[in-house]
A and B are shown apart, each in its own frame.
Chain A
Amino acid sequence: MKRIGLIVVLLCGGLLVYGTIDFPGWGDPEAPASRHVSPYYIENSIRDTSVPNIVTAVLADYRGYDTMFETAVIFSAGIACFFLLRVFSRKSPDVRLYRHVPTSLTIRIEKGGKLPEESPDFERIDDEWTPYDLIIKTTCRLVIPFIQLFALYVIAHGHHSPGGGFQGGVILGASIILYAVSHDLRATIRRMSERVSALLATTGIIIYAGTGLLCLVLGANFLDYGALAAVLGVDPVSARSHGILIVEIGVGLAVMSTMVWIYYILSSVGRNDEGL
């Protein structure tokens, strides 16, 4: 197996090397890739969409359809993980462990025993529970708001600087994942339940596809943001710019909640209990 694999890989590499000889040199401004379609984007994006970041303009407008499906890809990954791994336990387990937070005592409750009341003093834990570090907990709690603020900035400022819905959404999702890593998964799920994350992911794509559909209803082609001018009360070029912003918000929402959702499922193997 090893040898066959090596031969296949080397053959493949040799083929690619052979093809590379005819490539135009690296970074050649006269290369065909830089001369056919891309100059149009560079020279006209400001005029067409009034978005200075050309990548954002191309991503969300000229090739906005790709981006809609990119969001759908992420969403289907979330759904796929849920479908594959999530287990719904009908009956509650025989033995439950609770921790009394002020004293750090663990209470073990057998089947039929009385459960502690829902109070902030008790938290439910699993048998593989390890103490969480105070320093890490506090630091993360301090840092998370700033991460989220930055993420919102990235989403909102995608028109003028690198970034946009996708990056911002991932950072926003990462901040929640950071909370889940530094605290525990149950606490995170209490703040943002699985259902909320699934519905937010759906909402994100509905915002994107709905914007496109609105354009279609208004008489233009699907995703032709210029048609939004009538609704937003601006000229078509700024309507494109605003349309891009709306769409980016949808992407951000969908990506954030899907990332969090996938993390919930992977880190607890579908049980949504203790987490890492």
Chain B
Amino acid sequence: MDTLISIIVSKYNYWIYICLMMIGLYAMIVKNNLVKKIIGMNILQTSIILFYVSIGAKKGATLPIITHGHNGESHAVHAVDFINPLPHVLMLTAIVVAVATLGVALALALRVYSQYQTLEEDEIYSQIEMSRKK
């Protein structure tokens, strides 16, 4: 029991990320409104960013900015003193990708709206069915 609790407590960030990921995925699969799906898509992407940032965290370490390095070789820099910068770098890129995807998805949604005058998927499908029958 204690080990279970310690597992839950020591990895609480990861549980939250799984939670958010499930929310995002659920919205993308189940929701009927296209804008809602796009919001879900963004939640999915941010949840993955949360996961990466959690990998980078390091207890007892500080921000990955070296503040005393100006006058040459003053102190040796120890890796344990600084948070792992690599996941941060990767996630900067991932955020950019997320906003780029968002822009394209919204542009497509606007196009869909101008074609069918609605953003609800079931209404769009019924319109497509109607046009097939004609």
Contacts and interface: CB of A to CB of B under 8 A. Distances in A.
A/B contact in complex, CB under 8 angstroms: yes
Interface of A: 1-2, 4-6, 8-10, 12-13, 16-17, 20-21, 23, 25-29, 31, 33-34, 37-39, 41-43, 45-46, 50, 52-55, 58-59, 63, 66-67, 70-71, 73-74, 76-78, 80-81, 84-85, 160-162, 166, 255, 262, 265-266, 269-270
Nearest to B110: A269
B59 interface: yes
**Most B C-beta atoms less than 10 A away, residue of A20, A31, A77:** A77
Contact of B88 (A37, A45, A55, A84): A55
B130 interface: no
Contacts of B43: none
Contacts of A41: 85-86
Interface residues of B, number: 58
Given A12-B25, A42-B77, A53-B65, A78 B103 contact: yes
Contacts of A13: 18-19, 21-22
Contacts, number: 164
B22 A39 contact: no
B11 A58 contact: no
Given A73-B96, A166-B92, A10 B22 contact: yes
A151 B9 CA distance: 39
Contacts of A55: 64-65, 85, 88-89, 92
A262 B103 contact: yes
Contacts of A8: 25, 29
B134 to A, nearest CB: 26
16 contacts: A2-B30, A5-B26, A20-B14, A20-B18, A25-B10, A27-B58, A29-B80, A33-B56, A58-B85, A70-B97, A74-B96, A77-B101, A80-B104, A84-B111, A85-B107, A266-B103
Nearest to B25: A9
Given A38-B79, A73-B100, A28 B18 contact: no
Contact of A46 (B55, B77, B114): B77
A262 B29 CA distance: 27
B78 A43 contact: yes
A81 B108 CA distance: 8
Nearest to A40: B79
Main secondary structure of the interface of A (DSSP, over half): helix
B79 A80 contact: no
Interface in B1-53: 7, 10-15, 18-19, 21-22, 25-26, 29-30
A54 B82 CA distance: 10
A25 B11 contact: yes
A8 to B, nearest CB: 6
Interface string B83-118: 011111110110011011101101110110010000
Nearest to A20: B14
Contact of B96 (A70, A78, A80): A70
B97 A266 contact: no
A26 B96 contact: no
A264 to B, nearest CB: 12
A82 to B, nearest CB: 9
B46 to A, nearest CB: 16
B3 to A, nearest CB: 11
B84 A33 contact: yes
Nearest to B29: A5
A54 B88 CA distance: 10
Contact of A38 (B7, B84, B111): B84
Contacts of A66: 89-90, 93
B128 interface: no
A160 B66 CA distance: 8
Nearest to B87: A33
Nearest to A34: B84
Nearest to B6: A25
